[in-house]
Amino acid sequence: MGWVQKEIRLEARRRGFHLVTAEIGQQLPELRDFRVGLVHIFIQHTSASLALNENADPTVRQDMERHFNELAPESAPYFVHTYEGPDDMPAHIKAVLLGSSVTVPVKDGRFHLGTWQGIYLCEHRNQGGSRRLVITIHGE
């Protein structure tokens, strides 16, 4: 059994749900060395999150963004944490709901996702910037 841990960066994206499976995979050449295992992907931010979901139809990502904006709207009158802008507190709420990590199985040097699954960067800020991920691979 072996372990690999590294930090990678995802390019800055606008607010929304973004398919990043390929971008992560390109920065993980070490993945090819694992026949079987797990990849844990952790985002080091409190205003963005990670999720697994539909990888084919982009309208799913659009609908996710619309739904979460309804769930945690900007400038809600009851927010106290407002000094970083109207999108900040909703971003924290969305990040808590969706989570800061995903774990993906590895098979024969690749992510072993379902046919219609992909890894999402859920960017909840209007100007979030690039995002840091800590990747931990364990397997053989």
Q: How confident is the model over 4-33, as pLDDT tens digits?
A: 999 999 999 999 999 999 999 999 999 999
Number of domains into which the chain is organized: 1
Number of neighbours of residue 132 by Cβ within 10 angstroms: 14
- Against a cut of 0.75, is the pTM above it? yes
131-139 and 2-10: which strand pairing? antiparallel
- Residue 1 pLDDT level (bands cut at 50, 70, 90): confident
Kindly report, residue by residue over 61-108, the tens digit of the pLDDT.
Answer: 999 999 999 999 998 999 999 999 999 999 999 999 999 999 999 999
What per-residue confidence (pLDDT) applies to 139? 98
What per-residue confidence (pLDDT) applies to 61? 98
The CATH number covering residue 108 comes to 2.60.120.460
Amino acid identity, residue 41? Answer: I
Do 122 and 13 contact (CB within 8 A), yes or no? no
Do 112 and 125 contact (CB within 8 A), yes or no? no
Contacts of 81 (CB under 8 A, 6+ apart): 88, 89, 92
Q: Which domain holds residue 29?
A: 2-139
